[in-house]
Amino acid sequence: MSYRLIQILTVILPTILIGGFEFFRHDILLGHLSMETGNVFITILTFVLSLLFSSWVFHIIRIKNDQLAKEQAKRAVYEERERLARELHDGIAQSLFYLNVKLKQGDVEASSRAVSTIDHHVRQAIFNLRSTPEEGGSLNARVTKWISEWSSFTGIDVEEDFEIPNQLFILKEEVQVFAIIQEAFANIRKHSGATKVGIKFKETHNQWQLRIWDNGCGIDTSMVSERKYGISMMQERARQVGAVLQISKSGMGGTDIIVTKEIKK
């Protein structure tokens, strides 16, 4: 049932039922039903009809909202898988090209690093495909598991203070926040030379903040290429959840990435 039809029924049904009763009372029941009794009866009738009608309308709206939420969830998953496919294709294609060049040059060490990079891309893709938002439980659980696997693969220690309140994000926002975390950690692995990484999420009454930092070589924010480091991608994902992404030198000498969003209540 369309919202337009619900709107029409909301106007017409109460008018017909209550107005019809008033005509019936004045034309037929006026000699048998006192004005006071009639007023009490019409009040009760109005309440019962309003309760039944509103219950029916809100039931329809709830069904529509559930359907919409499911469609949005599916769309968010499909969009994330398409993004993953593009990134996986680009990453592996570049690594294979690099591997081919180094093999021709006889550079075994560089070739080994390229193979490790390809292995990482494939492992990350498999994890993302197995851990879709619909199937993987809470965002906390998915991030914790992913970071554990990332730490095992890279050998870099990760200090975690990460606990997102339930239902803070809708599904589409979870996808974007998770992707920001993955991109930030991918940059740390590729470029930072860090031996320690930290991730922290905190929420106050008026904002939430996601912070990722490392003790690596740091990033020159005035010289950095946004395409090379995926910064524009992270900034766009932050914008899609209504947040702001900032990058600076961390207190540990490395890079500090902070995503902040003001909460309107």
In order of 55, 62, 72, the CA distances from 69 in angstroms are: 21, 10, 5
Is the same domain home to 144 and 258? yes
CA angle 260, 262, 265 (to 5 degrees): 150
Provide the sign of the torsion angle of the four alpha carbons 144, 146, 147, 152, taken in this order.
positive
Is the same domain home to 246 and 144? yes
Instruction: Summarize pLDDT for 188-217 with one digit per residue, the tens.
Output: 888 888 999 999 999 888 899 999 999 988
Is the same domain home to 251 and 145? yes
Q: Is residue 181 part of a domain?
A: yes
What the block records as the tokens of 83 is 């993004």
For the whole prediction, is pTM greater than 0.85? no
In order of 59, 127, 189, 214, 251, the CA distances from 198 in angstroms are: 46, 21, 13, 6, 12
Q: Is residue 132 part of a domain?
A: no
Give 169's pLDDT tier (boundaries 50, 70, 90): confident
Q: Is residue 171 part of a domain?
A: yes
Instruction: Summarize pLDDT for 217-232 with one digit per residue, the tens.
Output: 887 766 555 555 578 8
Cα dihedral: 150, 152, 155, 159 (round 10): 70
Domain end position, chosen among 14, 31, 66: 66
Q: Number of folded domains in the chain?
A: 2
Q: Is residue 58 part of a domain?
A: yes
Please tell me the distance from the alpha carbon of residue 222 to that of residue 165, in angstroms, as a whole number. 35
Q: Which domain holds residue 10?
A: 3-66
What the block records as the tokens of 13 is 């049904």
